[in-house]
Each structure stands twice: as C-alpha cells, then as structure tokens.
C-alpha cells in the first residue's frame, strides 16, 4: 500500500471527469406562434362566456329579489287594509265578500232574464201577427195543391185557402195573396219553368194582369217564380201595390211571413 501516496489525486479526478460522457439534455417542446394564439383566443372566449353568464345570473337574481320585495309589500298593504276595515274580523270580511258576489250574480241574472223576456215578447208578437193573417194561394192551372201551399199551412197562418183556375173567386179577400207561377202548367201540359224565354215573359205578363183584376188594392202580393226575372214584375205593373218576388221555397215561406207584417201594419 506504499504506492497510494504517489498518486496525484487532483490529476486523477480531472482525468475521470474528462472521460465521462456528458449527458445530452432532452430538448423542451417548442410552441409555435399559431398554437399560442389559438390557446389565447380560447381562453379569452371562455373568460367572456363566464363573465356574461355571471352577469345574467346576477341580473336574474336581482329581478327575483325585486319581485319578492314587491309581493311582500303588496301583501302587507292588503293585510293592513283588511285589518283597518274589518278590525281583524275575518268573519265580517267573508260576509261582505259573499254579499258582494251574490249582488253581482243577481244583477247578471236579472239582465239575462230581461233579455230573454224581450226575446219571448218579440217571438210572441211575431206569432200573433202570423196567426191573425189570412192567405190566398192561387195556382193558375188545373192542378191540385202543391207542396209549397202545404208548407204555408204548416206555418199556422190564420187561414190559407187554395185556389186554381177552376175555383178562382171573383175577388181575393185575404191579407196576403200568393201567385204561384212556378208550379203552373198550361193547356198543352208545358210547365211554366220549361217555356222558352219569350213565351215565358209573355205568359207571365198575361197571368199577372188577369190576377190583378181580382186583387184588392190593399192586399199584399207575393209572386212565386224562379229566375230568370220576369219583366212584368215591376212598379209600373202593380201601380202602388205592395209586392215581392220569391224564387225558392224557403224565400216563399219567409216572404209570406214578412208580408203578414206589412198587412198587419196597414190594418192597425
């Protein structure tokens, strides 16, 4: 062991150090400028979203608090009014509320009853006029009672008389007179509605002129005929008489009922 003192330790250490390989450092990942910008923008958008959400939550909470404050104030006010008026007597408050509601119901029902009474009165008045009106129904042919005549009978006028060419009276005396051209048939068996236009106009005028000779001036005339219009149905033909055309079964029944009102007005 006598050789140890002869070793130059500092020199030996330097030699070991120089022979030991230097470890190569692991390179750190390098962030590109584009990636840095994207991360920054994402972070900014997240911060903005959180900021906006926080603002909305705060605003909603403030509105909720305000609404609750208003509700509490309103209930406190109403409670004070009830206590002031009724002196904490809820029974009295209930009685007053019941009386008020009952009064409103009574007023509403009374209004409905009055309205219905007026409607019933108008209906009764109309039916009284119908039931006091006489009707003459004239068919200028040899045929029997048409269905339109039966409908007028069912309407319950005071009296509805049927006349045709063989039973025509010397004078029609009813309040309302119906001239049924639509169902009339001539001697050749041709229906009035099937006549050619010129023949239809000519036949219609002749029948109307003959009918007017037996009709009192005060009688209301309803002429039952489908379109086209007859030229003879005009003011010049009837010379101040009250008249109206009816072109369907429904309008015929309605028109005779309306004519009853006109006749009633003339007689009162």
HEC-encoded secondary structure of 13-36 = HHHHHHHCCCCCCCCCCCCCHHHH
> Please, which residues bridge with residue 137 across strands?
162, 178
The predicted structure's pLDDT at residue 66: 62
What is the pTM (predicted TM-score) of this model? 0.57
Could you read off the pLDDT of 121-131 as tens digits, one per residue?
565 567 788 99
Residue with tokens 């048939």: 185
The predicted structure's pLDDT at residue 13: 40
Which CA distances in Å does 4 have to 9, 14, 144, 160, 206?
A: 10, 17, 163, 161, 167
145 vs 87 pLDDT, higher one: 145
**From CA 64, how far away is CA 164, in angstroms rounded?**
87
Could you read off the pLDDT of 142-163 as tens digits, one per residue?
999 999 999 999 999 999 999 9
- Judged against a pLDDT cut of 50, whether residue 45 lies above it is answered with yes
- Judged against a pLDDT cut of 60, whether residue 31 lies above it is answered with no
72 vs 175 pLDDT, higher one: 175
Could you read off the pLDDT of 173-186 as tens digits, one per residue?
999 999 999 999 98
- Judged against a pLDDT cut of 60, whether residue 196 lies above it is answered with yes
Dihedral class, residue 65 (left if φ above 0, else alpha if ψ from -120 to 50, else beta): alpha
Q: What percent of the chain has pLDDT over 70?
A: 57
The predicted structure's pLDDT at residue 248: 95
**From CA 225, how far away is CA 204, in angstroms rounded?**
9
The predicted structure's pLDDT at residue 260: 94
The predicted structure's pLDDT at residue 1: 46
Q: What percent of the chain has pLDDT over 90?
A: 44
| Exposed e or buried b per residue across 215-243, where buried means at least 16 C-beta atoms within 10 angstroms of its C-beta | beeebbbbbbbeeeebebbeeeebeeebb
């Amino acid at each position: 062991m006598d050789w140890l003192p002869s070793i130059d330790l500092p020199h030996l250490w330097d030699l070991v150090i120089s022979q030991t390989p230097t470890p190569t450092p692991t390179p750190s990942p390098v962030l590109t400028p584009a990636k840095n910008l994207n991360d920054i923008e994402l972070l900014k958008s997240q911060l903005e979203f959180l900021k906006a959400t926080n603002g909305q939550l705060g605003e909603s909470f403030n509105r909720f608090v305000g609404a609750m404050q208003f509700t509490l104030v309103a209930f406190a006010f109403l409670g004070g009014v009830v206590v002031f008026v009724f002196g904490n007597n809820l029974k009295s408050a209930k009685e007053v509320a019941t009386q008020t509601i009952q009064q409103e119901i009574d007023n509403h029902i009374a209004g409905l009853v009055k309205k219905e009474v007026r409607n019933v009165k108008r209906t009764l008045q109309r039916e009284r006029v119908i039931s006091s009106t006489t009707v003459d129904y004239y068919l200028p042919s040899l045929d029997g009672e048409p269905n339109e005549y039966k409908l007028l009978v069912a309407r319950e006028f005071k009296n509805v008389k049927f006349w045709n060419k063989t039973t025509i009276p010397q004078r029609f005396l009813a309040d309302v007179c119906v001239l049924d051209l639509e169902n009339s048939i001539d001697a050749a068996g041709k229906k009035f509605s099937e006549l050619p236009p010129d023949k239809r106009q000519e036949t219609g005028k002749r029948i109307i002129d003959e009918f007017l000779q037996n009709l009192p001036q005060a009688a209301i005339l309803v002429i039952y005929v489908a379109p086209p219009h007859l030229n003879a149905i005009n003011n010049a033909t009837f010379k101040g008489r009250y008249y109206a055309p009816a072109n369907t079964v429904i309008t015929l029944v309605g028109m005779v009922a309306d004519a009853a009102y006109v006749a009633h007005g003339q007689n009162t």
